Amino acid sequence: MASGKILRQLIRAGASGDLAAFKDASESIIQEERQKQHHLLANDLERILHGDIYQAQPLRHGLKERIPTDQERGLPLLTLREPTRRLDEVVLSQEGRQAIEELLEQHHRGDVLRSYGLRPADRVLFCGPPGCGKTLTGEVIATELDRPLALIRLDSVVSSYLGETASNLRKVFDFIESVPTVALFDEFDALGKERADASEHGELKRVVNAVLQMLDAYQGKSLIIAATNHEGILDSAIWRRFEEVLVFSPPNREELTQLLNIKLRGVRRDFEVDNEQVLTLFSSMSHADVERILRRAIKDMILKGQEFLQLRHLTKAREREVARIKKLEGGMTEHGRISSSAD
């Protein structure tokens, strides 16, 4: 049983609503149980602390009814959710972490900037390959700013009707201008593609013009984050509309070690995360690839009734992941070949 001192700290923190102190006391209890070799209990407490306690809360009162909809199909143009992921759960490069911390400081101390006639940066571009943490970082920023995360639904915003896409975008901007959120435009290249591309039709060029105008005129209460995996096809004028640009990439060795420590927290294992064989297994993989392999390896360990995660579990899971990727790539290639022949 946890010591009386720690239990008092835990109850005091819970009663006062001090989440940081509550987490510290909880971590102390977990550590005590591990030292007593009560590993199953410690693992359960870890899952509760870092899982259930941060489950999404009900959306703030009255916001759901204000979400704009597409006139053509009546679909919501964005999804609102309460964020749960915190800054210590995301692995960034040193430059990326510094940029995020500076951005958060600007917003936390926005009143100071405004007293000098300045505004916190409110238009940020995230770019880089898939699975490297762009969406997660957007959620982390929303958590740290205590704002709902607004995910712009491009499947609803982009319409087949002439002029309707720009109209939908206007509704989205009107909403985020009046409601403080972190507004994440994922796959932003669908709205900001290079206008000089001769293969694109006039409607898309009108959409890009509308996006540029709305970004120029934006003076709202939300922080806008545009994320893209294809920054090379963005219109050159789009780049100038963003005050900050953050480039994401697969983790290097140091970042990979951090990621493994986070994802294997509470998992009993017979290897160190900075083991050369372990790091080599995940070399050049994205954050999402690493997490997927770890999840598969842990499931394999559990279903086989084994107590420790071992290197062989990781190796087997990686082989499965590589095979899955090859199948996906083969399917896409075959799909492209069939389509070409059909044309």
Domain with 148, as residue range(s), is 64-247
Final residue of a structural domain among 247, 270, 294: 247
The domain boundary residue, chosen from 55, 77, 97: 55
Give the up-direction half-sphere exposure of residue 171: CA atoms within 13 A in the CB hemisphere.
22
Per run of 10 residues, the mean pLDDT along the chain (length 343 residues) is: 70 76 81 65 66 48 83 89 89 94 94 94 95 94 94 85 86 94 93 69 80 93 94 90 94 95 91 94 93 94 93 94 80 49 38
On whether both 243 and 262 belong to a single domain, the answer is: no
| 3-state SS class at 98 | helix
**Residues 139, 226 within the same domain:** yes
Instruction: Tell me: do 189 and 257 sit in the same domain.
Output: no
User: Are 168 and 293 contained in the same domain?
Assistant: no
Domain boundary among 215, 247, 279: 247
The backbone torsions φ and ψ at residue 59, rounded to the nearest 5 degrees and listed phi first, read: -60, 145
The three-class DSSP label of residue 304 is coil
Is the domain of 108 the same as that of 81?
yes
Residues 101 and 215 occupy one common structural domain:
yes
Question: Does one domain contain both 126 and 10?
Answer: no
Burial of 118 (0-12, 13-18, 19+ CB in 10 A): exposed
Q: Give the per-residue pLDDT at 56.
A: 42
Q: Do residues 83 and 106 both lie within one domain?
A: yes
17, 137: one domain: no
Domain of residue 211, CATH code: 3.40.50.300
Q: Are residues 277 and 169 in the same domain?
A: no
